[in-house]
Amino acid sequence: MDLKETYNRIALHWHQDHSSDDWWVAGTDSFIKILPSEARVLDVGCGSGVKSKYFVERGLQVTGIDISDKLLEIAKKEAPKATFKILSMTDLDTISETFDGVFAQASLLHIPKKEAGDVVRKMAQRLVPGGILYIAVKEVRADKPEEAVEKEHDYGYDYERFFSYFSMEELKRYLTDAGVQVISTLRNPSPLGKTVWLQIMGKK
């Protein structure tokens, strides 16, 4: 299973399916409020650019990265004033820019847990001193594995994606180990109750 190939295949359907999501608004607004006006934000795993567009509309300067070129094609239409690059979050150390905020919503969950701490450190390294890191992932589920390849059939055909599921204590530890001070946490069940989203913010 190749995650890039999967997202390239489902890009349009995924974008249409998730465009009406709103579970993320409160946490994202909290992130924006902490940032300076016209802040530079790195949207890690930006997907089809829905959140990048949200940032641009609020006066922020946005760079989005994702591994899926098909999702980025949609993102460029959604947020033409943002900058987008094909890049894996595991390769964040290959860029030199720094940002006032790094935003990783529903993206770290595709990273194996043994690599997650290192990826969070790379995110923190992209922050200016005093910069804000935001991460949202799915909460670990009772009596289910913490890592799994999920087989799905939402769009009329079969596809697979790898997911990691986390606890809030793990997220706090990742931030602390990366030199980021935790400033807020939010546990947010989705409207359908299938997923509990964990959101955490920290200051470098």
**For the segment 178-189, what is each residue's pLDDT rounded down to a tens digit?**
999 999 999 988
Q: What are phi and psi of 194, to 5 degrees?
A: -80, -30
> Tokens 């905020």 sit at which residue?
101
- Residue whose pair of structure tokens reads 């300076």 in the numeric block: 36
Structure confidence by residue, pLDDT tens digits, 38-74: 999 999 999 999 999 999 999 999 999 999 999 999 9
10 Å CB burial of residue 192 (0-12, 13-18, 19+) is: exposed
pLDDT value at position 33? 98
Superfamily for domain range 3-203: Vaccinia Virus protein VP39 (3.40.50.150)
Q: Is 108's pLDDT higher than 70? A: yes
What residues does each domain of the chain span? 3-203
What does the pLDDT look like over 137-185, one tens digit per residue?
A: 999 998 899 999 999 888 889 999 999 999 999 999 999 999 999 999 9
